[in-house]
Structure 1
């Protein structure tokens, strides 16, 4: 661990107040993760996600059949735009945002939402039902996150992910095209999903082995370096985004290890990178918004203080600097 005594306070009182002035999706997580508020206070604030602010607004954007924009991954069951952009308005990205907001999976609204998606949404690529999965690990990893969170059986998708793991311990969406080296993007999506699945179901020895292998893949590369040379192969990994979509960055990697409570010295450089990005006012900025259509913006734009990144960075530092 590292950091002086002064650096062990991840956010100042003014920053906490600024965070609490945000959407219910932010407030309940600040209360739980940074302030240690009583469970009933946290639960009451979390319950507002379905009825107010971003959560209610995104739920209201659904089609009558419960999908968003008539598609699982692309609006209208379409294809990627010719310019290579990515719309973020269909069902998978919308559900991932609601997961990030912390929509209570036991809420009647959430249960009805999941039932409609299960009944009506099918993947563009293979026409399979939504919760039966697609073919790409980066999609299936996020689907396992959603299924585990919202209480849907995704055992079959997990079995596919276990079979898709590459020899170096991670995953790559281009493996069907011959890729033999894992991708940070695919690997983080799968790790998050398998960790959620393990928490929800108890997991299995096979899931545990896959988690440890994927973790080693990232740790051996210090979360952002090329193993062979130590170079940083993708500059965008050093810029923090939200929502992260399918993309990897260092803060997302550290959030995974915090959730898994895996403390390893090889995380140290990544932690100090996060610490160094704190602005003079005590906030962290939004740095790398992933281009594409959205239902509505969650932040004020790149270069501006970000409540999401401040919350995420602060709880990573609180975990790392806290007692082992």
Structure 2
């Protein structure tokens, strides 16, 4: 095996050794402020949801039997049968990044859920792509949720929705999936991957130009480029971000992590994270 594969195997084994009796990575218990509503979500970034995202982002074996139970647990826990989406409560309802991450996990791990069609139907109908001119209503489905649906639609919600939709096999994509993917991509290209639509010389968000891994709430510019490449996109609006990526290549042809995600379920070596970033960068630039 390659050095990357060896280090991945060691990390996966260590993460699996930390599973609790339910096969999860719960950090909360009775008496905690956020229990039970957020027991698979809080704290960032070491609970069950985030640990599964870490495992998917490092490209662990998607068929690992040890991951069936935690996938089922978070699917059942977060799904709101009344609204038809994954939810952490009214404060951030509807929350596109959580729903995108759930679709991503189901797609990566080939975990079938009858809920996902309802999720896609909801966001195909209600997801917004506003660029500074939306007034958040108090009624369904936005309920004054300015974090996700303020004047400018939360960019991370769009990128995570795209990530989840991108992991739906092409043969299984219905018309509304294809349309929602295109709307996400159009919004991203409007911002040239990571720049302000009104001032292209300015980053869309602080730190978005820093190579980061894994990608949890926020996408760095590399993850966005990687998703666009997964969807076969080659567009002039990607050029500034591609030039930024090329400028960060080291003399030995690799890329190095620039921003670490704190408080993962276990310590992850920087050289392994840099190797994961390098793999993504090479995939993005393969035919650039």
Would the aligned equivalents of 1:75 and 1:89 in 2 still touch at CA under 8 Å?
no
Q: Does structure 2 conserve the Cα–Cα contact (< 8 Å) formed by 1:284 and 1:306?
A: yes
Superposed CA RMSD: 3.5
The answer as to 2:86 corresponding to 1:133 is: yes
- Local SS of the residue matching 1:319: coil
What's the CA shift for 1:285?
1.3
Unmatched segments (≥5 aa) in structure 2: 88-93, 137-141
1:224 correspondence with 2:199: no
Distance between the aligned counterparts of 1:290 and 1:113, measured in 2?
Answer: 22
2:193·2:241 contact (CA, 8 Å) conserved in 1?
Answer: yes
Match status 1:254 vs 2:209: no
* TM-score normalised by length of structure 1: 0.70
- Secondary structure at the residue paired with 1:88? coil
Matched, 1:206 2:166: no
1:33-182 to 2 correspondence within 5 Å?
52-70=9-27, 77=36, 87-115=44-72, 118=75, 122-123=77-78, 133-134=86-87, 135-150=94-109, 151-153=111-113, 154-168=116-130, 176-177=145-146, 179-182=150-153
Residue 307 of structure 1 corresponds to which residue in structure 2?
275
C-alpha distance in structure 1 between counterparts of 2:63 and 2:73, whole Å? 15
Contact 2:192 2:240 in 1 (8 A): yes
Secondary structure of 2:212's partner? Answer: coil
Post-superposition CA distance 1:149-187 (Å, at most 9, x none)? 332222122222223311449xx9997235142222111
d(CA) in 2 for partners of 1:237, 1:93? 20
| 1:143–1:193 contact (8 Å) kept in structure 2 | yes
Alignment correspondent of 1:290: 261
- Closer/same/farther in 2, CA of residues 183 and 112 from structure 1, 3 Å limit: closer
- C-alpha displacement of 1:133: 1.6
Question: CA, structure 1 residues 132+226, in 2 after alignment: closer, same or farther (shift >3 Å)?
Answer: closer
Q: C-alpha separation between the residues in 2 aligned to 1:217 and 1:229? A: 15
Q: Is the 8 A contact 1:166 1:181 kept in 2?
A: no
Which 5+ residue runs of structure 1 have no aligned equivalent? 1-18, 27-51
Comparing 109-118 with 247-256, greater Cα deviation is found at 109-118
Higher normalized helix content (fraction of residues): 1
What is the TM-score with the length of structure 2 in the denominator? 0.78
- Structure 1 residues 305, 209: closer, same or farther in 2, change over 3 A? closer
Structure 1 contact 166–180 (Cα < 8 Å) conserved: no
What corresponds to 2:2 in structure 1?
20
Would you say the 8 A contact 2:121–2:176 is kept in 1? no
SS for the counterpart of 1:193 is: helix
Equivalent residue pairs, number: 262
Superimposed CA distance per residue, residues 183-234 of structure 1 (whole angstroms, 9 cap, x where no aligned partner) = 221111000111212x166211111111111101111221121112222232
Q: Distance in 1 between matches of 2:170 and 2:68?
A: 16
